[in-house]
Chains A and B, each alone.
Chain A
Amino acid sequence: MHRSGLPQTGRLHRTGSIKDEVKQEIWQALVQAVDLIVSLDTEVVQISLRSLYISAASIVIAALFCVPIGSLIHFHDFRGKRAVINVIQTFYSLPTVVVGLLVFLFISRSGPLGGLELLFTPAAIIIGQVILIMPMLTGMTIGALSGVDKTIRDTALSCGAGTAQAIRAILFEARFAVVGVLILGFGRAISEVGAALMLGGNIRGYTRVLTTAISLETQRGDLVLSLALGIILIGIAMVVSVIMNILLQRY
């Protein structure tokens, strides 16, 4: 990592009060962080893009499964529907390390999918993140659809819509809420560290993402880089949310 130009901010010098020292370091770190971002530091850009790509892939794959599954559950009445929804909601708070562990067991060399050699690849992180956000996406899709006024279904049907067309009309009506769900899912994916670390291995230039990098650099004492990456992480979340909102305003 390109760090030659950075001050060794991590080591605490035992001169003056420790409090002042920390305060000064944080300030320095902020300045340096902005500098790193503005100057488009190659390593920082690469890590950011990788994070973005992995989480975007996770959310797209998860959405492809979860929006239809959520719709299916919402539009069908069956016994135990309430229980199914409750179980799904319970898994909203699935711990990332548990997901990491389970996927690890499956794709490690001795696991059932060991032959695919997925462990410590970006694909492994994607698998973990998809599993992580699926319950949330499915459950909240159901919630979004429940929020649509019941008269919309009747209106669509009496306008001559078939069942599939009526479902599409209701989904369209719920589009703001569904996109909100996707943004939330994306946020959970890009901000999690457990699965990314356990399944990706934080390999520099290959599976190192924003969260794993922050975790590592903080441990190593490089607060500047950590903070810079943290600011980028928050920035990405903000930009995604703003872009989605602008797109929605138009349609």
Chain B
Amino acid sequence: MAFLQTVDIEQRAGASVLLNRVNLSVEKGEIFTVIGPTGAGKTTLLRLINLLDRPSAGDIYFDGEKITGPSGNAVQVRRRMAMVFQKPAVFNSTVYENVAYPLKVRGCHGKTARSTVYNLLDTIGLGGYARRKAKTLSGGEAQRVALARAVVSKPDLLLLDEPTANLDPGTVKMIERLVMDFNRERGLTVIMSTHDMQQAQRVAGRVGVLMKGQLVQVGQPGDVFFSPDNARIAGFVGMRNLLRGNIVRNESGIAVVDVDGKDIEAVSDLPPGSTVEIYIWPEEVVLSKLASDSSARNNLHCMIRSLSSNGPLCTVIVDCGFTLEVLITDRSAVELELSQGQEMYASFKASAVRVLPSMQG
């Protein structure tokens, strides 16, 4: 059994289902990121793990022991965990007293406790702030205090609920670095929720996608972001060129998909007749003036609708019966002398198309 395991946990509030049979397993020493849009149930899940709320159904196991149910001693379990909330919550006392609070409730006073707190304040870059009133800190500083307060008692599991939401980029980077340092140096297991995909990619060992209360996909960040299991996840992780079509035939793994009357060849094992969602990687599409690229399976005549340069890259929106977003380097856009209304050919390989079974069927 994993270090932390939730078994079919459900949480209901009245008629609405906040979490629906979530089975999460997190191994010791890893950073696991739960991503999902706002309202997906991320906070609900973390609060259940921290035993701040009770699940409507299901059980949670932590380090081999069942922690839900009447037999569990919630205080003892919570003392092996720590949680940082989205809204930085500090006690109305000094920075020192805030960070020292978990030690105080555990009955740790004296010199060692004091030096632990001071060292930690140095680590989070608030060394001179010990006597400052915590309420006078900025949002980013308060969140760093909350992080220090969470790790001061050397917990086995750190829960972070969107810890960097609404913070400036500098503080976000700092908090991410601190979390990764604590994870590496102390072997601290971390479960973090975020709605920021890039953050998940930067920090996480594994990612779980939570949507509408369901854990829909778990895997390495790369798997989740580049091979999402369904169109909903694809949409959430920011995939462009999501199109809908029908497979008209399939010849040894190369399917022909009819999208708005155009045939697109794609790598897929799905049988003819299936309704599918396809996704075309914008950076895999090549624009050229002539339809002569032999290596590409798909060659579509198109017209440029708009061009927008963003630094080194240029996003080109073309119309080839359906709208396609193409990402090329700014330099090649200049070389090709692209302009609005120009007629071009868009070509891409069959392997640049990801085919997902349609959600709606």
Task: Determine if chain A interacts with chain B.
Answer: yes
* Interface of A toward B, CB cutoff 8 Å: 149, 151-152, 154-163, 165, 169, 172-173, 251
Per a CB cutoff under 8 Å, which of A154, A160, A162, A163 touches B52?
A154
Chain A residue at minimal CB-CB distance from B146 = A155
Over the window 76-101 of chain B, the binary record of Cβ atoms lying under 8 Å from chain A Cβ atoms (1 yes, 0 no) is 00110111010101011100000001
| Nearest A-chain residue to B89, judged by Cβ | A151
- Residue from A152, A155, A158, A172 with most neighbouring chain B CB atoms (10 Å): A158
Contact status A157-B78, CB under 8 Å: yes
Give the distance in Å from the alpha carbon of A161 to the alpha carbon of B85 in the complex.
16
Give every chain A residue within 8 A of B91 (Cβ-Cβ): 152, 155-156, 169, 172-173
A152–B105 CA distance with the chains assembled, in angstroms: 15
Nearest CB of chain A from residue B87's CB, rounded to whole Å: 6
The answer, yes or no, to whether B106 is at the interface (CB within 8 Å) is yes
The docked-state distance in angstroms from the alpha carbon of A211 to that of B92 is 39
Residues of B within 8 A of A158 (CB): 50, 52, 78, 81-83, 150, 159
Q: Establish whether residues B85 and A159, one from each chain, have CB atoms under 8 Å apart when the complex forms.
A: no
Indicate whether A162 sits within 8 Å of B87 (C-beta atoms), given known contacts A154-B52, A157-B52, A173-B92. Answer: no
For the complex, would chain B's binding face be called helix, strand, loop or mixed by DSSP majority? mixed
B75 in the interface (beta carbon within 8 A): yes
A154 touching B85, Cβ below 8 Å = yes
| Residues of the B chain whose Cβ atoms lie less than 8 Å from the Cβ of A169 | 91, 101
Please tell me which one of the listed residues B47, B87, B102, B159 contacts residue A159 in the complex, with CB atoms under 8 A apart. Answer: B102
Per CB-CB distance, the 5 closest pairs between chain A and chain B, nearest first, are: A151-B89, A160-B79, A158-B83, A159-B102, A155-B89
**CB neighbours of A152 from chain B (8 A):** 89, 91
Tell me if B153 counts as interface (CB < 8 A to partner A): yes
Chain A residues near B42: list those with CB within 8 A. Answer: none
Residues of B within 8 Å of A163, CB to CB, are 75
> Which A-chain residue is minimally distant from B53 (CB atoms)?
A154
Number of A-B residue pairs with CB-CB distance less than 8 Å in the complex they form: 58
Given contacts A160-B75, A160-B79, contact A155 B105 (CB under 8 A): no
For residue A175, which residue of chain B has the nearest CB?
B92
A154 vs B150: C-alpha distance when bound (angstroms): 13
> How close is B99's CB to chain A, nearest CB, in angstroms?
10
Are A151 and B85 in contact, CB atoms less than 8 angstroms apart?
yes
Task: Tell me the dominant secondary structure on chain A's binding face.
Answer: helix
Chain B residues with a Cβ closer than 8 Å to the other chain, count: 24
Task: Write 22 A-B pairs (CB below 8 A) sorted by A numbering.
Answer: A151-B87, A154-B83, A154-B85, A154-B89, A155-B85, A155-B89, A156-B91, A156-B105, A157-B78, A158-B52, A158-B81, A158-B83, A159-B153, A160-B78, A160-B82, A160-B102, A160-B106, A161-B75, A162-B105, A165-B105, A172-B92, A173-B92
Given A154-B52, A155-B91, A162 and B82 contact (CB-CB distance below 8 Å): no
State how many angstroms separate the Cβ of B176 from the closest Cβ of chain A. Answer: 21
CB-CB nearest in chain A for B83: A158
Separation of A163 and B150 alpha carbons in the complex (Å):
19
Interface string of B97-113 (1 = CB under 8 A from A): 00001100110000000
Highest count of chain B CB atoms <10 Å: which of A154, A155, A251 = A155
Task: Tell me the nearest residue of chain B to A166, going by C-beta.
Answer: B105
CA of A160 to CA of B87, assembled, Å: 19
Q: For the complex, what is the distance from the CA of A158 to the CA of B47, rounded to whole Å?
A: 9
Assembly CA distance A159 to B155 (angstroms): 10
Which B residues are in CB contact (< 8 Å) with A149?
A: 89
Residue of B nearest to A251 (CB): B93
Taking the closest CB of chain A, its distance from the CB of B309, in whole angstroms, is 44
Q: Which residue of A is nearest B86, CB measured?
A: A151
Give every chain A residue within 8 A of B149 (Cβ-Cβ): 159
Contact residues in A for B93 (Cβ distance below 8 Å): 172, 251
Closest to A154 in B: B52
Give, as a whole number of angstroms, the nearest-CB distance from B184 to chain A. 23
Question: In the complex, which residues of chain A have a beta carbon less than 8 angstroms from the beta carbon of B47?
Answer: 154
- Which residue of chain A has its CB nearest to the CB of B88? A151
Most A CB atoms within 10 A — which of B75, B85, B146, B159? B75
Residues of B within 8 A of A157 (CB): 52, 78
A169 to B93, CA, bound (A): 11
Q: Specify which chain A residues have a CB less than 8 angstroms from the CB of B159 in the assembled complex.
A: 158
> Could you tell me which residues of chain B, from 318 to 356, have a CB within 8 Å of some CB in chain A?
none
Given contacts A154-B52, A157-B52, contact A162 B75 (CB under 8 A): yes
How far is B93's CA from A25's CA once the two chains are assembled, in angstroms?
52
